[in-house]
């Protein structure tokens, strides 16, 4: 599992097969390992340059592939996946489907996105979104608040993929696309669907 974060998806699959979760964030891997289970192997690493053994299948869940900043990084990641899939098993990439109705507005002002507790204190998160349709990118600015006090601010840059683009990219990097889905249950891609999942196999 590449870009496994704190291990949510790895935990869901643990017990069904041997699982390795890789993320470049050491604090996230630390948190994942603390939650377990022990059967999952947790690795701090970069999905553009990993070489940690052979795998029967690789999954890049929940937009992690969209964090790669440019074509060179995406090609490097697909190359590393291809090298690790020695038995010819599948690579599944799961990214959000762009909301084309929103791409026309360059900016969504800051608004409430989440409220929860951190170390017992009520914390809320707001999100401000900047869109660059030509670059096919979103800049998400998240701010964490305790009352009116700003605790932290983080910025995420995400690439928006179309199905055709993903298919070409995989084909150009030594894969063939076996199936494309519009949700996690395997529904076909359709207008208005929220996800874009592609399952591809390495060409030998």
Ligand X SMILES: C[S@@+](CC[C@H](N)C(=O)[O-])C[C@H]1O[C@@H](n2cnc3c(N)ncnc32)[C@H](O)[C@@H]1O
9 binds ligand X, rule: CB under 6 A: yes
46 binds ligand X, rule: CB under 6 A: yes
Query: Hey, which residues between 25 and 44 contact ligand X (CB under 6 A)?
Result: 25, 28
Query: Hey, which residues between 67 and 126 contact ligand X (CB under 6 A)?
Result: 67
Under 8 Å between Cβ of 107 and 119: no
Residue tagged 């999954």 (tokens): 59
- 188-197 long-range contacts, CB within 8 A, separation 24+: 189/97, 189/163, 193/97, 194/96, 194/97, 195/94, 195/95, 195/96, 195/97, 196/94, 196/95, 196/96, 196/97, 196/161, 196/162, 196/163, 196/166, 197/92, 197/93, 197/94, 197/95
Q: What is the rounded CA–CA span in Å between residue 47 and residue 106?
A: 30
- Name which of 72 and 135 has its Cβ closer to ligand X: 72
48 binds ligand X, rule: CB under 6 A: yes
63 binds ligand X, rule: CB under 6 A: yes
Q: What is the rounded CA–CA span in Å between residue 192 and residue 57?
A: 29
Of 21-29, 103-111, 177-185, 187-195, which part binds ligand X (CB under 6 A)? 21-29
Among 19, 23, 85, 169, binds ligand X (CB under 6 A): 23
136 binds ligand X, rule: CB under 6 A: no
20 binds ligand X, rule: CB under 6 A: no
Binding residues for ligand X, how many (CB under 6 A)?
Answer: 17
Q: How far is CA 37 from CA 7, 27, 137, 195, in A?
A: 10, 17, 35, 28
159 binds ligand X, rule: CB under 6 A: no
144 binds ligand X, rule: CB under 6 A: no
- Name which of 88 and 153 has its Cβ closer to ligand X: 153
Site of interaction with ligand X (CB under 6 A): 3-5, 8-9, 23-25, 28, 46-48, 61-64, 67
């Amino acid at each position: 599992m590449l870009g496994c974060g704190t291990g949510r998806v790895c935990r869901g699959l643990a017990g069904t097969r041997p699982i390795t979760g890789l993320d470049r964030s050491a604090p996230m891997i630390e948190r994942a390992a603390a939650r377990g289970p022990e059967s999952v192997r947790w690795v701090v690493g970069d999905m553009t340059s990993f070489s940690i053994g052979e795998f029967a299948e690789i999954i890049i869940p929940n937009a992690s592939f969209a964090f790669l900043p440019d074509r060179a990084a995406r090609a490097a990641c697909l190359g590393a996946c291809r090298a690790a899939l020695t038995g010819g098993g599948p690579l599944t990439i799961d990214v959000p489907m762009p909301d084309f109705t929103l791409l026309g507005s360059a900016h969504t002002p800051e608004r409430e996105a989440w409220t929860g507790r951190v170390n017992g204190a009520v914390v809320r998160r707001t999100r401000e979104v900047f869109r660059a349709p030509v670059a096919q990118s979103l800049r998400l600015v998240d701010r964490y608040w305790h009352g009116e006090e700003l605790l932290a601010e983080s910025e995420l840059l995400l690439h928006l993929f179309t199905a055709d683009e993903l298919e070409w990219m995989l084909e150009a990097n030594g894969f063939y696309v076996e199936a494309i889905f519009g949700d996690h249950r395997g529904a076909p891609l359709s207008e208005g669907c929220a996800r874009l999942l592609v399952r591809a196999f390495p060409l030998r």
